[in-house]
Each structure stands twice: as C-alpha cells, then as structure tokens.
Amino acid sequence: MKNITLKQLRYFEALAQKGHFGHAAVSCAISQPALSVQIKELEAELAMPLFERGPRSVRLTGFGETFRQRVTEILRSVDELGDLARSAQGGHIGRLRLGIIPTIAPYLLPRLVGHLSAEFDGLDLRVRETLTPRLIAELHDGRIDAAILALPISEPALTEVALFDETFVLVRPDHDAEKPVPDGEALQKMRLLLLEEGHCFRDQALSFCKLGSAMPRDGLDGSSLTTLVQMVGAGIGVTLIPEMAVPVETGAAQVSVAHFAEPQPSRTIGMVWRKSSPMAGQFARIAEVVRRVGAASDR
C-alpha cells in the first residue's frame, strides 16, 4: 500500500460525501474524469471496490464504509497537523471553518464577520449553516473546526463554552397585540407554528409549552423562521422566535411581538470544538468575540 496518496483520500472522502462524481469533482476543483481516474487507481491499489456505481449516483460498498472510517481519522489528523503549525505561529488562525445553526446564522453572522475580520488579521472564514446533528458529525469528522449552536451538547470529545443567553418572544397577528400574553400551557390550546423536526429550536419551544415532540398537531411546520412569521402575519396562528431574530423577521410582517412573563423561555448560545484540536486557544479567543457580539444584540 505504498502508493496511496493524501490527494486520493481527499477525493475518496469527497465522493463518499457527495455520492456523485460530478458534484465531488466540483467540490475538489478538478475535472470529473480526473477524479474518476484517481478513485480507480485507489481501488486498484487496495484491490477492493470502494463504490457501487449507479447511473446517477454512487454508494459505498461494505468495505468502503469501513475504509471511510479510517480515512476520516487520517484526514482529521493531517488537518490538525496544520492547526498545530498555525498555533505555533503566535496565534495566527488563517482558515476557520465555522458551523452555525439556521436559527442563529442570519441574525448573528452579519455583525460577527466584521468583528472577526477586525480582530484576526488575514482570517479566511468559511461558514457552514446546517442543523445541530450535522454540525456535530462534521466536527467529529474534521470537516469543520468549530460551531456556534444552542447548548448543551454533552459530547465527551468536544469542548463547549457557554457565551450568552437569549429569550424567546411570542409573535402573533397585529390584531391580537392588546390581548394578554399567554403562558406555555395556554399556548397548547392555540395554533402554534413551529420549525420542522430536526431544529433544536422546535424542541425548545415544545418544552416551554409542555408539549411532546411526537404529539399530533394541526399547525404548520416551517423550514425557516421567515416562513413562520409570514404565516402568523397571514392569520394562520402564532409562533415563538429568538429575540435576536425580531429586527430581521418582523419588520415587514403584520405581526406584534410580546415578551412572556418570568421565567421567560430562553436558550443558551455557545461554541464547541474538538478537545483534540491544537487551536483550542485561538478558538477560545474567537468565542470571546462571539460573546461580545451576541451580548450587544441583546441591548
């Protein structure tokens, strides 16, 4: 096995992730025929097929699944060697692959990017927005360096740092603005519009209302807070959104915003990264910038 290269392993990982030669080639910035040749050479070196080829997609063989686990470990270790070198350069960060969940990204990122660029000269910021389970998986695989999300995560291999707390507010139609603000139990009897399953914010809202996630509901499950707020403006129901989303989401909708009585529903926003990363010190500095920006948004 002397002729296996890191380039081949990265191409293999891209194809395993994308499941399509064309898409994997684009992500690797090479031609599809070149990618195909490299994968064939890797399979020849291993004397084992790694992929089952279909007319429109590819999938890993059983051996390919096992092989990918080791490849993921190898590529993560190689990336951490680069992190080790950057860490030894007196705190220079360079590239930062930052994950962030959809109920934070549109509201925090526009202010955060400028602050990070000012604080860290030459920072190459690459943002990945997706749901919490995917961010955690990508952290473990080494595809991202750190993530901003709602805590707790409780993953033994990850460092998690709480940054700031954020309350949830009630969004309801304009004509309900003068009505008393319902509590969690009263919301059970209303048409509550929520994000679709997979969003941690959905689970937090259901918890406040003391509703089980598996309960049948007649509301609307949306893919974004924007959709939910617009549906409230159309008179379909009510929803909860994080307070940082209020300026962005409610300005153009016929809705009113109300705060709940104490104790108000809330979430803790934090940042997580691998405990094994040599960049832990730099990530802690980045977390402090996120803390300042997030705290400022509450004022």
Rounded-to-integer distance, Cα 94 and Cα 260, Å:
43
Average pLDDT value over all residues in the chain: 88
Higher pLDDT, 164 or 295: 164
Give the distance from CA 228 to its chain's centroid: 20
Confidence label for 90 from pLDDT (cuts 50, 70 and 90): low
The count of other CB atoms within 10 Å of the CB of residue 274 is: 22
Instruction: Report which listed range, 91-100, 156-165, 279-288, is most confident.
Output: 156-165
Give the distance from CA 221 to its chain's centroid: 19
Angle, CA of 129, 67 and 158, to the nearest 5°: 40
Task: Flag whether pLDDT at 258 surpasses 70.
Answer: yes
- Which residue, among 289, 232, 266, 68, has the nearest Cα to 151 in the 3D structure? 266
Question: Rounded to 10 degrees, what is the CA torsion of 96, 99, 102, 103?
Answer: -90
Which residue segments constitute the domains of the chain, with CATH numbers given?
A: 6-75 (1.10.10.10), 85-163+267-297 (3.40.190.10), 165-266 (3.40.190.10)
β-strand pairing of 192-195 with 158-173: unpaired
Rounded-to-integer distance, Cα 121 and Cα 134, Å:
29
Task: Flag whether pLDDT at 298 surpasses 70.
Answer: no
SS3 149: strand
Confidence label for 50 from pLDDT (cuts 50, 70 and 90): very high
| CB 130 within 8 Å of CB 99 | yes
| CB 189 within 8 Å of CB 250 | no
Give the distance from CA 238 to its chain's centroid: 26
Higher pLDDT, 272 or 178: 272
Confidence label for 95 from pLDDT (cuts 50, 70 and 90): confident
What pLDDT, on a 0 to 100 scale, did the predictor assign at position 281? 85
Amino acid type, 232 = V
Task: Flag whether pLDDT at 22 surpasses 60.
Answer: yes
DSSP structural state of residue 211: -
Task: Flag whether pLDDT at 151 surpasses 70.
Answer: yes
What pLDDT, on a 0 to 100 scale, did the predictor assign at position 88? 59
Rounded-to-integer distance, Cα 202 and Cα 207, Å:
9
Task: Flag whether pLDDT at 83 surpasses 90.
Answer: no
Task: Flag whether pLDDT at 228 surpasses 90.
Answer: yes
Task: Flag whether pLDDT at 217 surpasses 80.
Answer: no
Longest dimension (CA), the chain: 74
Rounded-to-integer distance, Cα 24 and Cα 284, Å:
33
Task: Flag whether pLDDT at 214 surpasses 60.
Answer: no
- Which residue, among 25, 112, 107, has the nearest Cα to 287 in the 3D structure? 112
Q: Report CA Rg, the chain.
A: 23
Task: Flag whether pLDDT at 211 surpasses 80.
Answer: no
Rounded-to-integer distance, Cα 146 and Cα 123, Å:
14
Task: Flag whether pLDDT at 277 surpasses 90.
Answer: no
Average of per-residue pLDDT across 74-79: 82
